[in-house]
Structure 1
Amino acid sequence: METRLRYLPITDAAEGMILGAPVVLSEQGINNFKLPAGHALTETNIHQMALRHAEFVCIQVPDERSPEERDAEWAIEKMRVNHIFRAADLTDPVMARLHAAVLNFRRS
């Protein structure tokens, strides 16, 4: 089954949710909490993140859209990003990489 990534406030995180991206929390430049992508959250994990002032967590959720629905939503999203970059010089390598990175981020 396909999955999507969603960013949730830490207050909305629940036990059993699967991390879609690593969680790395630091204080004064020192990493003091780390969980890998794919980790199933526990109540203890959520409590530890809240104590360390985490605000958001990236989780995986099942993507129940049909391939046609995904393609249609992606076309709209791509048009939105292209509209934002409409005045940008995409022949500039730096701007082209930024554009590609934003598209890649929005794709997930």
Structure 2
Amino acid sequence: MSAWIGAALIVGGVIIHSVGELWQAAGGFEASNVLAPPEAIGQYLGVFGFGIALAESLGPALLTFSGIELGQPGWFLMGLISLVSGLAVPPVTRSAGRSRVQYAGIAVRETV
């Protein structure tokens, strides 16, 4: 493989990864605000932030353990976990969104 092809693959991967991170951040922020009852937005954001902190603190150790200690099966396991959790997000958020009613741009609890 030539150096130009390798460089193009790296640049393409960086661009795809960056767009994915932006999309995930926007989606996570939107979901954590819109799906929360108006009186509990702060609590929902606190739990959302705690989940991010937990992932950022435990994620590297889990990834290192699975990749080094378990070898190739560990990498497949991490890929499977990522795939399943990623595929679960759209139906879960759609379901949560259906249980909410939009009123003047603010999510309110459905009372009917």
TM-score by length of 2: 0.25
* Higher RCO, 1 vs 2 (CA within 8 Å, ≥6 residues apart): 1
* Structure possessing the higher radius of gyration over alpha carbons: 2
Structure with more of its chain in helix, by fraction: 2
In proportion to residue count, which structure has more strand?
Answer: 1
